[in-house]
Structure 1
């Protein structure tokens, strides 16, 4: 069986509202409009969908691994209500200074997911709202995509990723991809 193509997603600022104070509880996890439906539609079209998220709030002692697990169980429940599911959730709980291989911009989470889930990185996308998400995607060999939700506008204004396709939301990216966007070989697309 051939390896599957995937859409890797950052979590905070892409799927749900971000917070400078971290998402510390299930109650603080608020999906962005259209994000869960975008995941459902990508899955229906045959894409693997994998979340890769830095969660240094665990390392900082702001919330526990058990709380992080409950937030992800809540996300899975919301997706189940939509009739879909993620292929995987990978989270780095380490502090930035830990030097681990999993914290984005390093590609460790994407590489681990690709190995465990038999994913074709060269035909996959990494969707994020921060330069570190896109850098991790590039390092793993995926195609980076910036969304303007979360920190996206700030990332766009910084101009650090000039040749990356840009979309307003995850929903807009999914609509583009499902309409045959892959044939547009990486030209910068501002929606």
Structure 2
């Protein structure tokens, strides 16, 4: 089964006010739950890799984060799919940890947990940090225009990075899912 790596905020769910602080605030983007379920049903292992600096900044606590993830998992399961795992960085931007995207610590942990290489896997995100992370492990970078994706596209065009020239761009997770399922 192929692993598909996904960011969370701006990819699967709306990202209002910078932090999603509770399960009540967590709202999926249109079509994202169905897209995840379809990918899962087709045999892909869905693994979430997300920065959650709100923990370090005291915006929410671990119980809140677990409730958010339980709600997300439940909605995907109700649609007939499964999220294989969720990995998150609990540190703030100034903590200089190895697990905060675009550093490769989360991907190292995923490789260890699944006893596999992520080389060639899709890494789907809406931020430049996601795309840079994809390059760390030779993943296929995928940019969604949802979330901060439009801003990220502008950043890419202002400072072209030849290593990111192969980035595939989709409007949203539903369009990406259709692409994967058709190919």
The verdict on a shared fold, with TM-score over 0.5 as the criterion, is yes
In the TM superposition, residue 50 of structure 1 has moved relative to its aligned partner by 0.3
Structure 1 runs (4+) greater than 6 angstroms displaced: none
Q: Partner of 1:118 in structure 2?
A: 115
Structure 1, unaligned stretches of length 5 or more? 181-191
Question: Aligned to 1:175, which of 162, 171, 178?
Answer: 178
Q: Partner of 1:164 in structure 2?
A: 167
Q: Partner of 1:184 in structure 2?
A: none
Q: Partner of 1:155 in structure 2?
A: 152
* Kept after mapping to 2: 8 A contact 1:40/1:79: yes
Determine whether 1:137 maps to 2:134.
yes
Name the CA distance, whole Å, in 1 between partners of 2:137 and 2:62.
Answer: 26
Structure 2, unaligned stretches of length 5 or more? none
In the TM superposition, residue 34 of structure 1 has moved relative to its aligned partner by 0.9
Question: Aligned to 2:53, which of 56, 61, 64?
Answer: 56
Determine whether 1:83 maps to 2:86.
no
Determine whether 1:14 maps to 2:11.
yes
Determine whether 1:33 maps to 2:30.
yes
Name the CA distance, whole Å, in 1 between partners of 2:80 and 2:166.
Answer: 35
Q: Partner of 2:100 in structure 1?
A: 103
* Kept after mapping to 2: 8 A contact 1:137/1:143: yes
